[in-house]
Amino acid sequence: MCWGTVWYPYRLLEQAGISGTVASIYTYSLSILLGLILFYRHRHAAWRQPLNFYMLGIAVGWTNLSYVLAIIDGQVMRVMLLFYLSPLWTLILAKFFLHEQINFQRYLVIFVSLSGAALMLWQPGDWPMPRNTAEWLGLSSGIGFAVSNVITRHSKQLSLSAKTMSVWLGVVMVSLLFVPFLSMPFAWPHQISLHDWGLIVIVTMMLMLATLLVQYGVTHLPATQATVLFMFELVVAAIASYCLTDEVMTMREWLGGMLVVSATLYAAITHSV
């Protein structure tokens, strides 16, 4: 449920003058501090596959940061549906890096996914492309998630604790790279109210739990099937956005989204990708 609702406290923090980038730095820095306590006994695990440790951190760092920035400024359901094109990208990456074959079912998944995206993004007289920065970020977040899935599956010697710490470190590192490009002033710790610190702590707890569950899931499931675990997030996001915002999706956007979801579910049910 985390990814379907975490956008709301991030939006509240943005309204309080704490950008998504800065909020990500604080939430994941707190996660790292708590992680050092939880995983202290496993502190040497990262060096079993150091290259994969850092590659995973960069991939997930971009995935999480781009998702947060997209969900703050974009339409919740459109951003999430663009993110859920990730099985398509996972399929392609798994072909080249995990040497998985593309059969008829996989081509069908590609066709249905792209058809759904085209229907959802289509505008009269224009190409079916993301229409703003938030949607491009949402799309790139899905690609980043696909990359992280493949890296995770390829990092069998990395423990769950090492993968989790890699995620948290990666988000902080990638977020720090974007600090010079902030459009609003950096919110220093002493400038943040107690109420907003409470929100940051709540988000930290949500993200810590989500990261642990995600890394466990993608480690123990085939690469492309991992995304199906998060389909429930779409239901949560739909309910949350209906209750908390005035965002409305058109029938065409819903139909396109249903095709994207159908392709993902088909991939998982048939074990085809």
Q: Tokens 């890394």 belong to which residue?
A: 215
What is the pLDDT, as a whole number, of residue 177?
A: 95
Sign of the dihedral through C-alpha 204, 208, 209, 214: positive
What is the pLDDT, as a whole number, of residue 39?
A: 79
Q: Distance between CA 117 and CA 169 in Å, rounded?
A: 32
| Domain ranges for the chain | 2-269
pLDDT in tens, the chain (273 residues): 677 788 899 999 999 999 999 999 999 999 999 988 887 776 666 566 788 889 999 999 999 999 999 999 998 888 988 887 887 888 888 788 777 777 778 788 878 888 888 887 777 766 667 889 999 999 999 999 889 888 887 777 788 788 888 889 999 999 999 999 998 999 999 999 999 999 999 999 988 888 777 767 666 666 555 555 566 677 677 778 878 888 777 888 888 888 888 887 777 666 544
